[in-house]
Amino acid sequence: MLDDHDDIHPLFAGAPASTEFKKLRKRIVRYTREAIEQYGMIEPGSKWLVCLSGGKDSYTLLAVLYELKWRGLLPVDLLACNLDQGQPGFPATVLPEFLRARGVPHRIEYQDTYSIVMDKVPQGRTFCALCSRLRRGNLYRIAREEGCSAVVLGHHRDDILETFFMNLFHGGRLATMPPKLVNEEGDLFLYRPLAHVAEADCDRFARAMNYPIIPCDLCGSQDGLQRQQVKQILDGWEANSPGRRQVMFRALMNARPSHLLDPTLFDFTALKTNSVKLDANPEAMPKLR
């Protein structure tokens, strides 16, 4: 992406000319490109369904992918997609107008999953798990209808860390959201190109670009969630020791199965020493001093 404002994609129209913003943009683009290459996401000639919720993360994802494509570094077709799930108060015109004004190919899909979630989830329980499953199923369907090989999501580094700790604290397992995944049916990839990008950078980028942010609390189910509790813990650690999040994230990329306790990942029973076996004769055994 060139910094010449006479040759710039409409997604970047009005971008701040400050050195600080240019450094931020380049950092996000670099981290995104690294993740795409590191996890082997590019299949030349393929088509990606880029999921756009209207939050800061998905706006950042869309802009960065278009910048990489503009530079010739992402040889895939991009189709932006918003799934309107029927939440009361959802501003249905914001994203279509935003995408049309910037010449971004897109599909807007309406599916009232909100009513299903309200009907199925008992009062007092959070909606996120069922809502997410219904949303994911619809996105897979849309990807197939549009001939896409991958569904692309805007989860960032902090989402991945929070999911790891949620699994650790509440699920009893070491797992998180991988940058690249094959769906259960085996016919689609799921990519998270912002895996290395900090949430704070997404926030600064989207706000600097003045993108029309749609809040993620329209369903009223966010208060008191386990994810929010984990986020508060991580915020506290980061405040006491700046850079802690990045250190923990690097740990997820540096797993050592032999230093964990899962016998399905490492064959502890096959471990042998290189010492010579002692004679079975008791008299041959060395005497203790």
Domains, the chain, with CATH or none = 10-270 (3.40.50.620)
Annotated binding site: 128, 131, 219
In degrees rounded to 5, what are phi and psi of residue 181? -150, 150
CA–CA separation, 30 vs 137, rounded Å?
Answer: 31
Q: What is the pLDDT, as a whole number, of residue 134?
A: 84
The DSSP-derived string for 40-90 is T---TT-EEEEE--SSHHHHHHHHHHHHHHHTT---SEEEEEEEE---TT-
Annotated binding site for [4Fe-4S] cluster: 128, 131, 219
CA–CA separation, 64 vs 24, rounded Å?
Answer: 12
Q: What is the pLDDT, as a whole number, of residue 125?
A: 66
The single residue listed with the structure tokens 């508060």 is: 232
Rg (CA), the chain: 24
Least confident of 169-173, 244-248, 275-279: 275-279
pLDDT band of residue 161 (cuts 50, 70, 90) is very high
Report in angstroms the alpha-carbon separations of 61 from 25, 170, 255.
Answer: 12, 29, 27
Q: Residue 192: name the closest of 160, 230, 225 by CA.
A: 160
Per-residue pLDDT reduced to its tens digit, 75-128: 999 999 998 887 888 888 999 999 999 999 999 999 887 777 776 777 766 667
Q: What is the pLDDT, as a whole number, of residue 114?
A: 76
Q: What is the pLDDT, as a whole number, of residue 265?
A: 94
Least confident of 10-24, 54-68, 221-235: 221-235
**Length of the chain counted residue by residue:** 289
CA–CA separation, 103 vs 69, rounded Å?
Answer: 14
What rounded mean pLDDT belongs to the chain? 88
CA–CA separation, 43 vs 54, rounded Å?
Answer: 27
DSSP state, residue 242:
T
Per-residue pLDDT reduced to its tens digit, 202-213: 999 999 999 999
